[in-house]
Amino acid sequence: MTPNDLIRSALRWLLYVLLHVLVARHLVLFDHAFCYIYLGAILFLPFELNLTAALLISFMTGAIMDSFDNTLGLHIIASVLVAYLRPILIRYQLAQKISENRLELSLRGIGLPAFLSYVLVLVSIHHFVLLMVEAGSLGMLGFTFLKILGSIIFTTVALTLGQAFSR
Amino acid sequence: MLQLFEFIARNRNFILFVLLEVFGFWLLFNSNNYWSVEYLNTANSANAKVLEVSNSVKEYSNLREVNASLAQENRLLNQQLVQLQQQKPTNAPNGYQPDSDFAARYQWVTIAKVIDNSTHRADNYLTIDKGTLHGVKVGMGVISPTGVVGKVKICNDKFSVITSILHSQFMVSTKLLRSNEIGTSKWERSNDPSVIQLKDISRYKPLVKGDTAVTTDQNAVFPAGLRIGRVKNFKVAPDGAFYDIDLQLSTDFSTLSYVYLVENKLLNKQQSLQEAVNEKKPK
């Protein structure tokens, strides 16, 4: 990883965090769909980054989100889980692309089908954990599931569009 | 012992993962912990700064809604104010007790936006974006935050046309506050849309420049005490019995944007009674 790559990754992380704190945090579609676009900050971390660093970064990201939502712990739990599952998913889904040596975790780098399956799985896990823990109980299960489903679609579309329109 | 260290080294990421998750759950379920109270909440200075900046941007986009809610609040406050004034008129003798229906007869029906406006014709009209669907009826009074505007002339379900006070046939019963004289305001010189003429005040009464002109109690359409304007100058024609008074209008008609519609709920009863008298008159 060159210093240039490092700076680009750091800036991308900052961009996703700011985008979430300033804009996406306030977006609610149809009272059910929320946009947790900060997931991009974790999902698109460089693939070469070792797991320890990824876990600590996602812990920090979650803590920042929690500090803005006054829900300390909630985003941390979901973010750290995503960061831990990320390499496993990459190993199973993108194994052959890794062997092509240079793998950039972006829409352009791995193509739409692989990108969607990668993002969709991790976003689903994240939202399921986040919203179930937030609900705190099994009451209103239908409402929570609707929220999870809506948010998965919203976040995935937002992340895909964000990647499609960035360089 | 060595095996233990090897195990930890091999599984360090998994152990870190478990530790972080446990820490997260601990934070979540001990919501009063030191970390969340002291640092990681929206009140800490860095977070508050970010929120402040983002809020200051958002304020601009919310101005329209803020305006609407303020106008709504003003409408209710105005209605209450007039109702209180009607219940306890300042110039009434002690024993006077108005009927509660009478005191509450003025109702601020709705707020409308002026979408068309003329000021330079001989007879001027305004068009507003509210109609019968919103409770507007022909004959309702129209006022702005700064004073009298006019009267509803015609309306359909979505729009209404208002006879402006700048109309050659529109007359308002007017009282001068300081000299306590009553006359009639009417727009006569149609070249200046900021000045209206006040008639029927005897030349033998003392007048002051700058005196405030308001609507009188004898007005059926407008509540008493609404501002019309202030005395700009006055003169007497050599053979006249009355002053020619120019009032500077308190409302700037060229920049009028929002108006209130006022309904006198007892207007019909009052008018039918007055018409009955006229019909009985021998012709």
Residues 6+ apart with CB under 8 A from B244: B197, B199, B234, B235, B236, B237
Mean pLDDT of B232-246: 84
Nearest CB to B41: which of A55, A70, A74? A70
pLDDT at B224 (0 to 100): 84
* Burial group, residue A126, by CB count within 10 angstroms (0-12, 13-18, 19+): buried
Residue B128 has pLDDT above 80, yes or no: yes
Q: How far is B37 from chain A (nearest CA, A)?
A: 10
State pLDDT tens for residues A129-144. 888 887 776 777 778 8
pLDDT over 80 (residue B51): no
**H or E element, residue B76:** helix B45-87
Chain A's closest residue to B54, CA to CA, is A22
Q: Is B235 on the interface with A (CB under 8 A)?
A: no
Q: Which CATH architecture has domain A3-164?
A: Orthogonal Bundle (1.10)
Residues of A in contact with B12 (CB under 8 A): 52
Q: Which residue of A has its CA nearest to B42?
A: A68
Beta bridge partners of A50: none
Q: How far apart are CA B148 and CA B185, in angstroms?
A: 11
Residues A50/B16, Cβ–Cβ less than 8 Å: no
Q: By the CB < 8 Å criterion, does B24 face chain A?
A: yes
CATH number of the structural domain B65-89+101-266: 2.40.10.340
Nearest chain B alpha carbon to A76: B24
Contact A76 B23 (CB under 8 A): yes
CA distance B156 to chain A (A): 35
Query: B7 in contact with A at a CB cutoff of 8 Å?
Result: no
- Helix or strand holding residue B220 (H, E): none
The beta-carbon neighbor of B41 closest among A21, A67, A77 is A67
**With left for phi above 0 and alpha for psi between -120 and 50, is residue B135 left, alpha or beta?**
left
- What residue in A sits closest to B36 (Cα-Cα)? A72
> pLDDT at position A98, please?
62
Q: How far apart are CA A146 and CA B67, in angstroms?
A: 36
- The chain B residue lying nearest A52, using CA atoms, is B13
A56 to chain B: which residues are within 8 Å by CB? 16
C-beta of residue B88 within 8 angstroms of C-beta of residue B132:
no
Burial B167-176 (b: 16+ CB within 10 A, else e): beebebbbbb
| Cβ contact B27–A73 (<8 Å) | yes
Test A73 with B12 for CB contact under 8 angstroms.
Answer: no
CB contact under 8 A, A22 and B16: no
Do B143 and B126 meet the contact criterion of CB atoms below 8 Å apart?
no
pLDDT at B42 over 80: no
How close is the nearest chain A Cα to the Cα of B22, in Å? 8
Summarize pLDDT for A16-58 with one digit per residue, the tens.
888 888 777 777 788 778 888 888 888 888 777 888 888 888 8
Q: How many Cα neighbours within 13 Å face the side chain of B248?
A: 8
pLDDT above 60 (res A66): yes
The domain spans of chain A are 3-164
The mean pLDDT of chain B is: 81
Which pLDDT does position A12 carry in this prediction?
84
The helices-and-strands tally (H runs, E runs) of chain A is 8, 2
Nearest-angstrom CA–CA distance, B170 and B192: 16
What are the Cα distances from residue B14, in Å, to B5, B10, B92, B230, B265? Answer: 14, 9, 86, 82, 77
The two three-digit tokens of residue B57, written as one number: 């941007």
**In chain B, domain spans:** 2-41, 65-89+101-266
For residue A61, give the amino acid letter: T
What is the nearest CA distance from A133 to chain B, expressed in angstroms?
10
Shortest Cα–Cα distance, A73 to chain B (Å): 4
ipTM: 0.70
- pLDDT (average), residues B54-59: 75
Contact between B111 and B128 (Cβ < 8 Å): no
* Tokens encoding B48: 């508050």
